[in-house]
């Protein structure tokens, strides 16, 4: 699976997976966590569309509702997928930073 399969939801999907890496969260908690981590505020439509796609691909799973909030957590497949994506991005950002510093 590749992140590009998520189309315009690729960035929100990655942000959601990162948010869930430290434990289950419901939608509002994810939106706040993502805003704090990245400075990006996902709207509810974007968040829930990306959650739906992640759940369809078995990267996350919904837990039983608490009050009126439904928390989500990473699946084991989701953890592996996130690890692969982060390693890829780490390599890419490392190469970019190295190339920039070579120009100085």
The mean per-residue pLDDT over the stretch 52-80 comes to: 96
SS (H, E, C) 26-56: CHHHHHHHHHHHHCCCCCHHHHHHHHHHHHH
The mean per-residue pLDDT over the stretch 51-65 comes to: 96
The mean per-residue pLDDT over the stretch 31-52 comes to: 94
Which domains, from first to last, does the chain contain? Answer: 7-103 (1.10.10.10)
Angstrom distance (rounded) from CA 27 to CA 94: 32
Answer whether residue 66 shows pLDDT above 90: no
The mean per-residue pLDDT over the stretch 14-29 comes to: 97
Angstrom distance (rounded) from CA 9 to CA 26: 18
Q: What is the pLDDT of residue 2?
A: 52
pLDDT band at 103 (very low <50, low <70, confident <90, very high): confident
């Amino acid at each position: 699976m590749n992140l590009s399969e998520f189309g315009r939801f690729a960035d929100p999907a990655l942000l959601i997976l990162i948010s869930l890496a430290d434990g289950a969260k419901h939608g509002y908690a994810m939106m706040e966590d993502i805003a704090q981590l990245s400075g990006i505020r996902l709207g509810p439509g974007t968040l829930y569309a990306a959650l739906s796609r992640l759940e369809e691909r078995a990267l996350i799973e919904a837990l039983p509702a608490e009050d009126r909030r439904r928390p989500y957590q990473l699946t084991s497949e989701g953890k592996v997928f996130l690890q692969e994506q982060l390693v890829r991005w780490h390599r890419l950002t490392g190469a970019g930073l190295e190339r920039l510093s070579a120009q100085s």
